[in-house]
Structure 1
Amino acid sequence: MKRLLLSCLCTLFLGGSFAFAQEKWDLQRCVAYALANNISVKQSDVQARIANLQVQFARAQQLPNANFGASGGYNFGRSINPATNTFANQSIRFGNFQLQGGITLFNWFANRYNKEASQLSAEAARAAVDKARNDVALNVAVAYLQALLAYEQTEISKVQIAQTTTQLQNIRKQVSAGSLPELNAVELEAQLAADSSAFITNQATYQGNTIQLMALLNLDMATPFAIATPDVSTIPVENIGNLQPAVVYQKALQNLPQQKANQLRYQAAERNIKAARAAMNPTLSAFGSITTRYSSLFPDQTRAAVTPNNKFDTIGYVQLSPGVILPALRPGFDVNLPNTPFFKQLFNVNLSQAVGLSLNVPIGSNRQLRTQWERSRLDAENIKLQLNQDNLTLQQDIYRAHTDAVNAMARYRAAQKAVDAAEKAFNFSQKRFDVGLLQTIELTTNQNNLFRRRLDAAAAQYEYVFRIKLLEFYQGEGLRL
């Protein structure tokens, strides 16, 4: 049985050493990796970029707009010549071109309010990204501290096993010498088995916490991974006297991105109310357009060619005397009218311009504009209520965290005293056992008591560090380990 236990212990220690010999990840590296790979953070960043697009759109609404249109085709049979507006029974190639634009001169600052609302919403979206990053960082820190605690408990279990193993070896020597009965060795072997079971449990907890941390990092589970294990006593913590909940709450209102985002959303909602109200008023705009056209049958009068055709055209009749009527003739001419060139039609003959003002007065829109205005007011009221609710929840969380920190500090101090007392009791029992004044079962009882007190002290210490770190986080100091 002794050889079996020693073999199991060697396997456990070697396996644990191999696991802890991997590349170490400290908290800063874990947080940086999580922020770069976490899906929630990436989704928040996409939403922020969408909000930036809305800002660009709102700014563009204050600029002039311009549109160019063109159409062309081929008419055959009897149709209207689009250039001369006369009927023609010929095939016609035609084209129409138009450039038009406009600008809003005054709409009661609706465009300006929309732009301001979109800018505030974009800032709120960026604050939401910071909030997502903070949430991820905090979750990673919690998982990291839990893994550290499990590692510390595993190390305590190792010390416990080493102590029990040393005692068992000494007892075995005394049993072999006949100075102690076999029962003492059997009791210590049972204790060593219990210590080994505790070690396996703590190591499994550490591995489970490590897997949870890797999941938060969005890290492939096949990746070699082990956390850095700084001494918890070296982790800098703020004096709890400097972390009064009222002061922390006021700093949190100014520093936490969730509160910034809520405030920015409310300001954006106020601008949306003004924009919706402005949309119910008249809008004055200016417009302008340039139009031209082309036709393959548009004659060019300036290039008319007149040539005699050696014929006479009757232009009327003249009565020389009663009963004598002669036709009035003139020399005949052929007139050739060539088609007007394409660019001459576009930029000279058929070119027309127009400028003007337009006034749009909303008289009746089936209550659409008023409904939008009233809904924007309700949206702002709802955002205000959410802002107050989040602030109240934040205040409750901070006061609860401060109370938990005070209680954790008290438990940690009590646990330290319990460890000191348990160590003294164990040392006394060890001395009495060495001189034969104490039974093995009583020695193992004191040893188990010391083991539990050390585990309790480690848990209390990590709980205290986490609560202080949480208060530091609330007042905007970030996470430092």
Structure 2
Amino acid sequence: MMNNYQRSRIKCWFITINILLSTNVLAQRAWTLQDCIDYAVAHHLPIKQQDIKAKIKVLDQEMAVRERLPSVSGYANGYTTFGSSQDVFGTIRRNDNLNSNMGINAELTLYQYNYFRNQAKKAASEAEQEHIEKEILKRNLTVQLMEAYLQTLLAQALLVSQDSAMQFSQQLLDKAQKSTAVGATAVSVVAEAKANLAREKQQYQQYHKDRQQSLLKLAQLMNYPDYNNLSLAVPVAESDLLQEHTFSDISNLREEAYLHNPVFAKFRSQAVGLEVESKFVKAALFPTVKGSAGLGSTYFNAFKADNTRSFFVQSKDNFAQQLAVTVSVPIFNKGKTKRQLKQIDLNQQNIQLAIDNEKFAQQQILDKLLLELDENRKQYGIAVEASTATAQSLDYTLRSFEAGKASIYDVNTSKSNLIKAESETIRSKYTVVFNQLMLRYQIYGSIN
């Protein structure tokens, strides 16, 4: 029977094994495309920088809103004079004294053609533009991730296909060696089988390199620390990815794409900001009315004078209040306002041209994607047919080889043709998948 020490050791081993297994499972988490996008957005440094810029603009907006409030300040100062002076009668006497004053001032802008309101609107528009810039960064990053993700899946699929070809060559070599050992085939057959296996291994290593490079690129886009532990999820079923998608009229697709493209939102926000800025600039043409209020007291001490009242008594007796209204009327500012308004008008025209240019670019992208999707679907169908026919041809060649009616060179040629056909099928498949995903994202702003 086991003692307590042995039971404890066995229990510890079970716990350790469970921990290692759970750790391995976590490390080999299968990442979907959406998982990669979410992780990349959360860890992308330029997006984090854009968040900070947006927060700064929000603070600018808050400061602009608070500009309507009065500014209040307190003051206190004192100065003393030592020396002699001559009065109007020619008498020279000492004039030593101490002067001081203190109080509180408040100033408020009563009218300035809605200057502060428009200033707050302008700050709000700039804050909105910073948020839109973040969406643009996310959009560009998502497009890069889609391409890198599918490129990695393609490289992985080619690697798996090449591994199958390498195993086939190994089996063919084993058969040739056995056949040569009994004297049924020539030694040259074994040599050719070995050479073909070496070529397959060489191609496998190239595909492995491509897969690792694609995985590294994807991890770098995600800002993921260890690309070796980045395992991609099993792709969506082929029947789902390659099914015929119906799209509405091209004009409706374009309008939908404009709606989900943050670049257009950026231009619209800039146009609104320019309208506010024009009102902001026009304020320089209108009078400015400011009101101020103050209260304070003064103190004077002649040092040698008799009966000088104390500081607190003088401060109480000299206490005074002041109200003032200041009106500033602009007369001539060298035509600055007129030219600023002209600049705003030109900027508005420039934004409209930028919108038209972006619409034109968006139309070209949609037209290109629709054309490529249609042609690549046809290409994929042809590739599937070619792959099926080539597989049948290889099957007949193998039967002929086993019957002694075909050489190993014929088998290698048929197998090479099949590998090329399967590779073309895989490439066509993922090209169609990429076209579908990209088209969906360009139109609806989402991969789902």
Q: Same fold (TM over 0.5)?
A: yes
Q: Give the TM-score normalised by the residue count of structure 1.
A: 0.80
What residue is the counterpart of 2:324 in the other structure? 356
Task: Report if the CA contact (8 A) 1:298-1:340 is conserved.
Answer: no
SS of the residue 1:392 aligns to = helix
Task: Report if the CA contact (8 A) 1:245-1:402 is conserved.
Answer: no
SS of the residue 1:478 aligns to = coil
Q: Cα 1:72–1:390, aligned 2, differ >3 Å: closer, same or farther?
A: farther
Q: 2:134 aligns with which of 120, 129, 132?
A: 129
| Deviation (angstroms), 1:157 | 0.7
| Deviation (angstroms), 1:62 | 2.5
Task: Report if the CA contact (8 A) 1:97-1:293 is conserved.
Answer: yes
| Deviation (angstroms), 1:163 | 1.0
What residue is the counterpart of 1:171 in the other structure? 176
| Deviation (angstroms), 1:151 | 0.8
What residue is the counterpart of 2:72 in the other structure? 66
What residue is the counterpart of 2:55 in the other structure? 49
| Deviation (angstroms), 1:91 | 5.0
Counting only pairs closer than 5 Å after superposition, residues 192-271 of structure 1 correspond to structure 2 as 192-220=197-225, 224-233=228-237, 237=241, 239-242=244-247, 245-271=250-276
Misfit runs of 4+, over 6 Å? none
SS of the residue 1:294 aligns to = strand
Q: Which runs of 5+ in 2 are unaligned?
A: 1-23, 86-92
What residue is the counterpart of 1:424 in the other structure? 392
What residue is the counterpart of 2:310 in the other structure? 340
What residue is the counterpart of 2:40 in the other structure? 34
| Deviation (angstroms), 1:298 | 9.1
1:290-338 Cα distance to aligned partner (Å, 9 max, x none) = 2333344599xxxxxxxxxxxxxxxxxxxxxxxxxxxxxxxxxxx9625
Task: Report if the CA contact (8 A) 2:216-2:227 is conserved.
Answer: no
1:355-383 Cα distance to aligned partner (Å, 9 max, x none) = 23222211111222222222222222222
| Deviation (angstroms), 1:48 | 1.7
What residue is the counterpart of 1:457 in the other structure? 425
Question: 2:354 and 2:53 mapped to 1: Cα distance?
Answer: 20
Question: 2:201 and 2:33 mapped to 1: Cα distance?
Answer: 30
What residue is the counterpart of 1:90 in the other structure? 96
| Deviation (angstroms), 1:404 | 1.7
Q: Cα 1:171–1:444, aligned 2, differ >3 Å: closer, same or farther?
A: same
| Deviation (angstroms), 1:73 | 4.1
SS of the residue 1:95 aligns to = strand
Counting only pairs closer than 5 Å after superposition, residues 232-311 of structure 1 correspond to structure 2 as 232-233=236-237, 237=241, 239-242=244-247, 245-297=250-302
Question: 1:116 and 1:235 mapped to 2: Cα distance?
Answer: 52
Higher fraction of helix: 2
Question: 2:205 and 2:35 mapped to 1: Cα distance?
Answer: 28
Q: Cα 1:154–1:261, aligned 2, differ >3 Å: closer, same or farther?
A: same
Q: Which runs of 5+ in 1 are unaligned?
A: 1-17, 80-86, 300-334
Question: 1:163 and 1:251 mapped to 2: Cα distance?
Answer: 50
Question: 1:27 and 1:104 mapped to 2: Cα distance?
Answer: 56
Counting only pairs closer than 5 Å after superposition, residues 398-417 of structure 1 correspond to structure 2 as 398-417=366-385
Question: 1:141 and 1:462 mapped to 2: Cα distance?
Answer: 11
Q: Amino acid of the residue matched to residue 57 of structure 2? A: A
Deviates more, 1:416-425 or 1:273-282: 273-282
Q: Give the TM-score normalised by the residue count of structure 2.
A: 0.85
Length, aligned pairs only: 416
Q: Cα 1:368–1:194, aligned 2, differ >3 Å: closer, same or farther?
A: same
Question: 1:244 and 1:467 mapped to 2: Cα distance?
Answer: 18
Higher fraction of strand: 1
1:448-479 Cα distance to aligned partner (Å, 9 max, x none) = 11111111111111111111111111223423
Larger Rg: 1
